[in-house]
Structure 1
Amino acid sequence: MPSIRALQLLADRQVTVTEREPPAPPSDGEVQLRVHVVGLNHIDVWGYRGMAFAKRQYPLTVAAEAACEVVSVGSGVSGLQPGDRVVPYGALTCGTCRFCTRGQDNLCENVRGVRGFHIDGFAQDLTNHPARLLAKIPPSVSLRDAACVSVAYATVEHMLFDNAHLEPGEWILVHAGGSGIGSIAIRIAKSLGCTVITTVGSADKAAKAKALGADHVINYREDRFEGIVRKLTGKKGVDVVFEHTGADTWAGSLLSMRRGGRLVTCGATSGPSGSINLMQLFQQQYRIIGSFGSPLSALARALDRIAAGVTPVIDTVFGLADFQAGIERLESRNVFGKLLIEL
C-alpha cells in the first residue's frame, strides 16, 4: 500500500514533511478521511514552540483544524458515506460524561487530547476519526471556508452567542480585528446589525477592517482605545467586549464596558496576567466570561452561518511544505484573516 504524506513536528520548532504508513481501515464508529485543507491557529504556534501543557511524543503530526472528505466508513456508522465533506471536531471527547451528554463537549471530563497538539493532527493525506465528532459541510460552503470552522469560526460562534449572548443592534468592541477570530467576529456582528468598534495595529489593517464592515477602527499603537470607545458611546461604553489579546488590553477593555456589559475572552496572546478592581466589577455589574474552544454544536451553526453568506476572511493559502512560513507569519502578526494549508 502506498505511503501518505504527513507534516510532522520532530522536536520544538522542527517540522518537516515525512512519508508514513497509511492508517488502517476505520474501526467500529470511525470513518477514514481524506484531508484537503487545514487551518493555522495560535494553538499551532503554541505546539510548535513546545507549549503543549501535557505529555506528548515526537514525531507529532500537526494541525487541529481541517476540512475533509469521507473515504470509507467503519461498522456501526450511519448518516455518513464516502464522498461526504465534513469538518472534524479536534478534541477527542468521551461522549459519555455529564458535560458531553448535555452538549458541552468543550467541558468534557475525560478528553483524550486535542489533535495536532497532544496527539497526531490533521496535516496528513488520510486519517481516521470518530464519526460522532464530525459536522457535514453544506453544499454551498467551500472546503477553504470550512477549514476555518472547527477552531476559529466555532470559537467565535461560541463566544458571541453561547457566552456573550450578543443581540442585534448592540455595540461591540472587537480586539485585534485583523486576526482570524477578530475578522470573523466583525463579520458576524455586522450581519446582526451591531455597531462594531475594532482595534488594529497598523494603517493597512485599519483600511481592511473598515472594508470588512467595522464602523469604527482604532489603531491601538497611536491612540488609547478605551478613551475613543467612551467618546463614541457617549461615555456609556459598549455592550460586549470580544477579548482575546490579554494583558495589554485587559484594563482598557474593562473601562470600555457599559454598566452591565459582558466581556468574553478566549486568549492571552500579549500575556496571561491582568488585575481587576473588585469594586468596579460589582458596582458596574460586569459579566466576565471565559471561553475555550466550542461545543460540537457550534461547528454546525458556524457552517450554516457561512452557507448564509457570513464567510471567514482568508489571508493566505500555503502549500504543505510551507507550514513554518505560515507559523512565522502568524507569530509576526502580519496577517489579516485566516492562514490555510492546502494538501
Structure 2
Amino acid sequence: MRSLQLIEDRKLEIVDVPEPEAPAAGEVTLRVKAVALNHIDVWGWRGMAFAKRKMPLVIGAEASGVVEAIGPGVATVLPGQLVSIYGARTCGLCRPCREKRDNLCENVSGVHGFHLDGFAQEKVNLPARLLVPAPPGVDAVGAALAPVTFGTVEHMLFDNARLEPGETILVHAGGSGIGTAAIQLAKKIGCTVITTVGSDDKTEKARALGADHVINYRSDRFEGVVRKLTKKKGVDVVFEHVGKDTWAGSMFVLKRGGRLVTCGSTSGVSTDINLMMLFQQQLRLIGSFGCRMENMANAMQKMARGLVHPVIDTQVGFSDIDKALERMEGRQVFGKIMLMIE
C-alpha cells in the first residue's frame, strides 16, 4: 500500500509499505479516506526539531477512515462505519483519560504525524477507543476535520473561554482552518464576530461565513479598528493562534475581565506580557491544546444538523502534496487543504 513519508527536511516521498496485519485485541484496521493538512505538517516539513521524532515519518495528524476489520473485544465500531480519528496516542488508563479529558493524558505517546507515524497512508491499525463514529449526514471530509479543525475550536471556545451568546469575539486569521470554524461556531450562538485576514480577497469569504467585521491586518492595525468598533470597551474573548506578532495587540483589545484563549504560535513562541495590564484589567490568559473526543462528537453533530460546514480550499492527491504545503506556507489558503486517499 502507499504511504506519504517525510524522508528528510522538505522532502516527501510516496513509499510502498506492507499492509497492516490483522487487528489485535481492541484494535481496528481502517482504510483512510481523507487527511486534513495543518500547520503541524508544515512545521514538520520545514524541519523544526521535535523530541522523539524519527524519519522517515508518515505525515498527517487529522483524518477520517472507514472501518475495514475489527479485532477481538471491539464493540464500539462496526466494519463499514465511517469514523473520525483522535490524533494523539493516549494511554486510556490514567485519571484524565478515564474522566474523558483526553488531551490531558498523563502518559501520551505522542501526536500522529508529528512524533508518531501519521495517517497519510491507505490503511492503518489503531485502538478502537481513539475513534469517534461519524453521524449520518457527515462525509469523509467532515469527519476528517473533527479532530483538529473543529474539535480544537470547540475546546477553546466552549470548554476554556466559556464563550456566551451575545458576547463579542475577535478571531485572528479568519481564513485559516480553525479560523473559519471559529467564525461559524461563535456566530451560531449569537456572538458578534470580528476577524482578521491577510488579503482583501479573503474579506468577502469571511463575511459569508458570518463575520460581522473583517479587518485586513496588512493594511490596518487591528487594535485600532477593534477599539473603534467596540467604542473603546474591547472584546470579551480573543481567539489567538498567531503568537508573537499579535499577542500585545490581542491583550490590548480585551475588555476588563476579558479572556484570551490560545492554541498556537505560528509567528513565534516567545513574547512579552504587560503584567500591569494583566492584573489591573483582570484579564484571563488561557492555553488550549487539542481537544477531547467529546468535542469531536459535538462538532460532527453540528455538521450533521447543518449548523456549521467544512470550508475547503483545495483537494489534492499524493502527488500534489508538496504544492499544497507550499501553498499553506505562503498563507494563500482560505479554509482547509484535503489530501484525498482513494
TM-score of the superposition, structure 2-length normalised? 0.97
Tell me whether 1:319 sits opposite 2:320 in the alignment: no
1:177 aligns with 2:155: no
CA deviations 1:27-73 (Å, max 9, x no partner) are 01000000011000011111112325212332211101111000000
Confirm or deny that 1:248 pairs with 2:245: yes
CA–CA distance in 2 between the matches of 1:292 and 1:76?
31
Q: What amino acid sits opposite 1:64 in the alignment?
A: A
Q: Distance in 1 between matches of 2:275 and 2:172?
A: 23
| Distance of 1:228 and 1:119 partners within structure 2 | 43
Aligned residues, how many? Answer: 340
The 2-side partners of 1:280 and 1:229 are apart by: 17
Paired amino acid for 2:211: A
Contact 2:23 2:69 in 1 (8 A): yes
- How many angstroms apart in 2 are the aligned matches of 1:242 and 1:147? 22
Deviation at 1:109, TM superposition (A): 1.3
Q: Which amino acid aligns with 1:307?
A: A
Give, in whole Å, the separation in 1 of the partners of 2:221 and 2:78. Answer: 53
Structure 1 counterpart of 2:192, one-letter code:
T
In structure 1, runs of 5+ residues without a counterpart are none
Q: Equivalents in 2 of 1:108, 1:253: separation in Å?
A: 30
1:272 alignment partner in structure 2: 269
1:204 aligns with 2:195: no
Aligned to 1:221: 218
CA RMSD across the alignment: 1.0
Instruction: Indicate the larger mover: 20-29 or 97-106.
Output: 97-106
Q: For the residues of structure 2 that align with 1:316 and 1:139, how far apart are their CA atoms?
A: 24
Q: In structure 1, what is the equivalent of residue 78 of structure 2?
A: 81
SS of corresponding position for 2:44: helix
- Partner-residue secondary structure (3-state), 2:231: coil
List aligned pairs for 1:41-52, cutoff 5 A: 41-52=38-49
1:47-58 equivalent positions in 2, closer than 5 A? 47-58=44-55
Partner of 1:333: 331
Instruction: Provide the rounded CA distance (Å) in 1 between the counterparts of 2:103 and 2:49.
Output: 17
2:19 to 18, 22, 28: 22
Deviations 1:291-334 (A, max 9, x none): 11112221111111211211121111111221111111110000
Q: Which residue identity is paired with 1:144?
A: V
Amino acid in the other structure paired with 1:138? P
SS at match of 1:10: strand
1:158 aligns with 2:155: yes
User: 1:120-173 deviations in whole A, cap 9, x for unaligned?
Assistant: 111111100100011000110111122111121111110000100111111000
Separation in 2, partners of 1:305, 1:89:
18
Contact 1:68/1:87 (CA < 8 Å) preserved in 2?
Answer: yes
Structure 1 contact 173–196 (Cα < 8 Å) conserved: yes
> Which whole-Å deviations, capped at 9, do the CAs of 1:172-196 have from their partners, x for residues lacking one?
0000000000011001111111100
Q: Deviations over 1:271-294 (max 9, x none)?
A: 112211212111111111001111
What residue in structure 1 maps to residue 281 of structure 2?
284
Higher mean alpha-carbon deviation, 295-304 vs 27-36, is at 295-304
Contact 2:195 / 2:215 at 8 angstroms: preserved in 1?
yes
TM-score with structure 1 setting the length: 0.97
8 Å Cα contact 1:99/1:107 also seen in 2: yes
Report the more deviating stretch, 128-137 or 308-317: 308-317
Aligned 1:55-204 pairs, distance under 5 A: 55-204=52-201
After the TM superposition, which parts of structure 1 deviate over 6 Å for at least 4 consecutive aligned residues? none
Contact 1:52 1:118 in 2 (8 A): no
CA–CA separation in structure 1 for the residues paired with 2:221 and 2:291:
31
Single out whichever of 27-36 and 320-329 deviates more from structure 2.
Answer: 320-329
Structure 2 residue aligned with 1:7? 4
Q: Separation in 2 of the partners of 1:212 and 1:130?
A: 36
Matched residue of 1:34: which SS?
Answer: strand
Of residues 327-336 and 147-156 in structure 1, the stretch that sits farther from structure 2 once superposed is 147-156
Give the secondary structure class of the aligned counterpart of 1:300. Answer: helix
Give, as a single letter, the amino acid of the residue that structure 2 aligns with 1:342.
Answer: M
Contact 2:41 2:59 in 1 (8 A): yes
